[in-house]
Amino acid sequence: MAFSQETYARAIDMLRDMSLEKKRVYRQKEAELHHKIPELAAIEQQIRALNLKTVSAVFSGEGVADIHKEIKELSAKKSKILKEHEQEEYSPVCSICNDRFLVNGKYCDCVTAAATEIALKELYATVGAQNYGFENFDISYYPENCRGGMQKLYDFCKDYADSFSGSSKNLLFMGKTGLGKTHLSVAIAKQVIKKGYGVKYYSAQNLFTVCEKEHFSYSGQTPQSDEMLTCDLLIIDDLGAEFITSFSKSALYNIVNTRYNMGRPTIINTNFDVDQIEEKYSERIGSRFMGNYTAKLFKGNDVRQLKNQ
C-alpha cells in the first residue's frame, strides 16, 4: 500500500521547496527587524553563545541550570519584541518531522499528504474530469426503470472504494457510451488515492501507446509499463476504442494475467459486451475477464447528452 517512489520523491521536493521559501521569507523579515531593532540582533547573538556554552557545561556538570534560565529569559524578551512587531517565531512547514520528512525511519504524514495531492493532480490531468466524484453522481438522469439498478451499482462502487485493499476484486464495467463508467471509475480512483494507495489511470489508447513505445525503445527501460503491472490499482478506460493490433492484444493479456497472478486489482471499462471482447481480442482474454472479474452492466440513456441539453 503505497505511492510510487517517484511520487514520494516529488512530494519531498515540493515540501523542501516550501520549507526553503518559508525560511527565505522569514530571514528577509528577520534581517529587516535586526536593522530596525539592534537589540533583537544582540539578543539572538547572546542566545547562540549560551547554546554553545551549554555543551561544555553539560560535560563539566556546572552552571547548566543557570544557563538554561538565562536562555529562557532572553527568549522571552525576543518573543515580546517579535510580538510587538507582528513577527512570529520561525516554525517549520511540518511541526511533526521538523521538515526532515521522516519519522522513525518512515515517511512523515506531511509527505503522504503531499504525495496524495500530487497523485490526485496527476489523475485530474490524465482524465480531465476533476468534478467526477461520488458526491455528484446523479441517479436522476437515468430512466426510472434503470434507477434502482444504477443505485445498487453506485452503492457497490462506493463500498468498493471505501473498503479497498490489495485483495479487492477486479471489476469489468460494461455498457454503452455516456452511462457513467468513467465517472464512477474516477470516483473510485480518487477515494483509493486518498486512502494512500497508488493508482494508475489510462485510456486504453494511451496505455497501449506507452507499452509499445517502451517495448520498442532502445533504452530498454520500461518504467511506466512496470508500474502498470505493480501499482495498487490499475484502471483502463474505454477498452475497445483503441486501434486493436496483435501487439495490443498481447499487451492486454500480459497486463491482465500478470496483475491477476500478483493479486493486484484492475478495473476495466468497455463499451463491448462479452461476445465482442472475445471476438475483438481473444477467447483467452474473454475467459480471463469472465472468470476473474466482477462484471457490472451500466444501463440507461447517454447521461452526457442529457446534461448538455
Q: Is 98 left (phi over 0), alpha (psi -120 to 50) or beta?
A: left
> CA-to-CA distance for 202 and 252, rounded, in angstroms?
12
Q: Is the dihedral of CA 67, 72, 73, 77 positive or negative?
A: positive
How far apart CA 147 and CA 300 sit, in angstroms, is 8
Helix (H, G, I), strand (E, B) or coil at 294: strand
The answer to whether 78 and 84 are in contact (CB under 8 A) is no
Q: What pLDDT shows up at residue 60?
A: 66
For 272, other C-beta atoms within 10 Å of its C-beta total 19
Task: Report yes or no on whether pTM surpasses 0.95.
Answer: no
Nearest to residue 14, comparing CAs of 90, 94, 124, 88?
94
Quick one: cell of 73?
Answer: 529569559
d(CA 249, CA 309): 38
The pLDDT value recorded for residue 61 is 63
Q: Of 163, 153, 172, 185, which is closest to residue 293 (Cα–Cα)?
A: 172
Q: How many CB atoms lie within 10 A of CB 7?
A: 19
Of the candidates 167, 177, 136, the one whose C-alpha atom is nearest the C-alpha of residue 154 is 136
- CA 134/CA 287 separation, integer angstroms: 31
How confident is the model at residue 90, as a pLDDT?
Answer: 83
Tell me how far apart the alpha carbons of residues 80 and 84 are, in angstroms, rounded to a whole number.
6
Residue partners of 12: CB distance under 8 A and separation at least 6: 101, 111, 114
Nearest of 30, 292, 57 to residue 170 by alpha carbon: 292
Give mean pLDDT in consecutive 10-residue pieces for the chain, a chain of 309 residues.
Answer: 88 97 90 84 85 72 78 86 78 94 94 95 84 90 92 97 94 93 95 95 94 84 88 95 92 94 96 92 91 93 65
Intra-chain end-to-end CA distance of the chain, in Å = 42
CATH ID of 129-308, from 3.20.20.70, 3.40.50.300, 3.90.420.10, 3.30.70.2740: 3.40.50.300
**Residue 9's pLDDT is what?**
95
Query: CA–CA distance from 97 to each of 6, 88, 106, 271 (Å)?
Result: 21, 20, 10, 48
